[in-house]
Structure 1
């Protein structure tokens, strides 16, 4: 539970806290171009990054795509591990979209850029984590003494 707590805090601190800088002892939030950088067209950013995987921005493209997936896999593993009511496929698909929608929705209201493709990639990651949880449980049952 403690590991999940720290993981959640680290994810939310990187996705919810607005961009800021400290100047002359004052905190200045940067919301000037957030709405300009927002994407509401599904697969637009994913295809942009995918096209760049062999181009000059390959590292940025790879880390953005992989990062949006890898960083959210633990949600799909930890949530059903810690709470039995989240062990069904239907509820975890709802959770898989609810968490990234909450993050992107919050980012919209605090002036950070938002991207519908982040929701898609994060949801896929949570489902992958849930599949890993199901595999883990099955292996654990198979290795349990009979």
Structure 2
């Protein structure tokens, strides 16, 4: 994400799927990793998200909201980001599903809630994504990989 002093509608939209994903695999991997915790923690904490369709829809809608915000001068809106973020949420669900087979049922049931009791969880995840986007992502790209 980039900083802009004024909010303006200057969309940079890429709607061709899978274009540039191979030439820019770091962004693809970072987008994937960014959404894995969402896919993992939703079913771990909430009974409503025990099916992958609910996790997939939530990951898709959350990613879509980020891509829409990026139309207002804070980056580029890319269909690849939407796809990879959704896949990241699904991968997180898969990790949860595999771990749920070895975790005791009573342990999982103690963690789960019937519904989202507060907006705190959503705000914490949003803060997590923002921190990763402004700290870890540029650090990995510029310092470790010497790109840019």
- Aligned equivalents of 1:90 and 1:65: distance in 2? 22
Match of 1:66 among 20, 24, 29: 29
Match of 1:129 among 82, 85, 92: 92
- Aligned equivalents of 2:33 and 2:26: distance in 1? 10
Asked if 1:44 corresponds to 2:19, the answer is yes
- Using the TM superposition, give the Cα deviation of residue 31 of structure 1 relative to its aligned residue in structure 2, in angstroms: 5.5
- Deviation track 1:1-36 (CA, whole Å, cap 9, x = no partner) reads xxxxxxxxxxxxxx6xx623xxxxxxx24769x53x
State the match for 1:11 in structure 2. Answer: none
- Deviation track 1:69-119 (CA, whole Å, cap 9, x = no partner) reads 1111000001111111111122122112111111112222x2232111100
What secondary structure is seen at the aligned counterpart in 2 of 1:71?
helix
Q: TM-score, normalised by structure 1?
A: 0.62
- Aligned equivalents of 1:63 and 1:31: distance in 2? 28
What secondary structure is seen at the aligned counterpart in 1 of 2:77?
coil
State the match for 1:85 in structure 2. Answer: 48
- Aligned equivalents of 2:104 and 2:53: distance in 1? 22
State the match for 1:96 in structure 2. Answer: 59
The structure with the largest alpha-carbon Rg is 1
Runs of 4+ in structure 1 deviating by more than 3 angstroms, as ranges, are 29-32
- Aligned equivalents of 1:114 and 1:19: distance in 2? 15
- Aligned equivalents of 2:99 and 2:25: distance in 1? 28
State the match for 1:23 in structure 2. Answer: none
- RMSD in angstroms over aligned alpha carbons? 2.4
User: Across the two proteins, how many residue pairs are aligned to each other?
Assistant: 105
Q: TM-score, normalised by structure 2?
A: 0.62
